[in-house]
């Protein structure tokens, strides 16, 4: 892999890569097979409605998307600002160990600084995914004091 990497906001033509990455991540991290039609509609919905969020991608010099993540939004009345949730992080195996996530995160932070009303960044990670936790700590993130609860319907 050539080390010349471009980090940019994804455009609709990148949807197929994001669909592929989501499927690979679910299988790799949770052993889940995602429903192809559902994940395709879910990814494409982000490109069709910017209120849902946006994707950021890492592209090599050959134009291949080798990593990406999605940002979604949470309003904080306590802080009168937005938290950006980092989701759907995936780096192709050949891109791992090359600080791709760090570069994606730096891009997100710079974009947030330009927005001016972003009060922080959040993400969730599987409790057993120790490697990912170390990556997030290495870029300055830390385990929050909050536990996450949920219910899927």
Task: Identify the sign of the CA torsion 29, 34, 40, 41.
Answer: negative
Question: What b/e readout covers 19-58, taking b as 16+ CB neighbours within 10 angstroms?
Answer: bbbbbebbeeeeeeebeeeebbebbeebbeeeeebbbbbb
* Residue 32 phi, psi dihedral angles, 5° rounding: -100, 140
Q: Is 46 helix (H, G, I), strand (E, B) or coil?
A: helix
Domains and CATH numbers, the chain: 5-138 (3.40.630.30)
- Between CA 36 and CA 85 the distance in angstroms is 24
Per-residue pLDDT of the chain (153 residues; tens, 9 = 90+): 447 999 999 999 999 999 999 999 999 988 999 999 999 999 999 999 999 999 999 999 999 999 999 999 999 999 999 999 999 999 999 999 999 999 999 999 999 999 999 999 999 988 888 989 999 999 999 999 888 899 988
């Amino acid at each position: 892999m050539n080390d010349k990497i471009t980090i940019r906001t994804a455009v609709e033509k990148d949807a197929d890569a994001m669909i592929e990455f989501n499927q690979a991540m679910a299988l790799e991290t949770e052993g889940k097979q995602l429903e192809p039609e559902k994940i395709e509609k879910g990814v494409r919905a982000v490109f069709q409605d910017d209120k849902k969020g946006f994707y950021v991608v890492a592209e090599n010099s050959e134009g291949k998307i080798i990593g990406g993540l999605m940002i979604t939004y949470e309003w904080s009345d306590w802080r009168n600002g937005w938290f950006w949730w980092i989701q759907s992080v995936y780096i192709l195996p050949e891109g791992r160990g090359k600080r791709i996530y760090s570069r994606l995160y730096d891009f997100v932070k710079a974009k947030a600084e330009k927005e001016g009303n972003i009060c922080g960044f959040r993400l969730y990670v599987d409790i057993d995914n120790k490697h990912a936790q170390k990556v997030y700590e290495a870029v300055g993130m830390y385990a929050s004091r909050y536990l996450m609860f949920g219910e899927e319907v």
